[in-house]
Amino acid sequence: MSSLLVKPVLHTYFRSSCTWRVRIALALKGIEYDQVPVNLIKDGGQQLFSDFSEVNPMQQVPSLQIDGISLSQSLAIIQYLDETRPKPKLLPEDAKKRAYVRMISDLIASGIQPLQNLMVLQKLGEGERLGWAQSCITKGFHALEKILQRTSGLYCVEDEVSMADLCLVPQVYNAVRFKVDLTPFPTIARINQALMELEAFNVSHPSRQPDTPPDLRA
């Protein structure tokens, strides 16, 4: 059977913001896929099991098996999907807009999210974790707010949904979860609200996944 006819498989964790980015992309592009839950907390972290190391040597989610290949790193996955399933486009044709999308995506995916993710927080004392996460997100959001004031229309880069928006919404979810005050970030809050009105962002939400615990389901 052709690899193009095999349903993609996403290794996922309901609350992983990196995986949520990919779930949004798959939903926007109407790609059906199967999910394999990888609980990042249970049993000391199922991502650390030797069998998952064969799927992703970095022992992280997401990992997507598609078209006969296995991909990790959310932005690489999203860009592959955009190159192979180009509608709707998540990276603009215009070079300047595309640069803005990549800049915003990298700011979130490299400059904010890794500093407050589970692996980092587990290295801190329990009483330090909330303050650390709040500090990292707040610092990043001050920079992001200034950038979005220049680049945004309805969404992060003018009026078309892009990869930047796929990064923004999960990061705002993290901010709310860590009790960050969003009052100083009206542009971020406005764009997030507009995006959460779109079905793809809702069906992919952490509260609506097969591995979402019953008490956290919407």
pTM over the 0.75 mark: yes
Q: State the residue for tokens 């970030």.
A: 185
**What sign results for the dihedral spanned by CA atoms 148, 162, 91, 89?**
negative
CB 46 within 8 A of CB 39: yes
pLDDT tens for 159-191 read: 999 999 999 999 999 999 999 999 999 999 999
Domains and CATH numbers, the chain: 8-88 (3.40.30.10), 95-201 (1.20.1050.10)
Tell me the pairing of strands 34-37 and 9-12: parallel
pLDDT tens for 93-152 read: 999 999 999 999 999 999 999 888 888 898 899 899 999 999 999 999 999 999 999 999
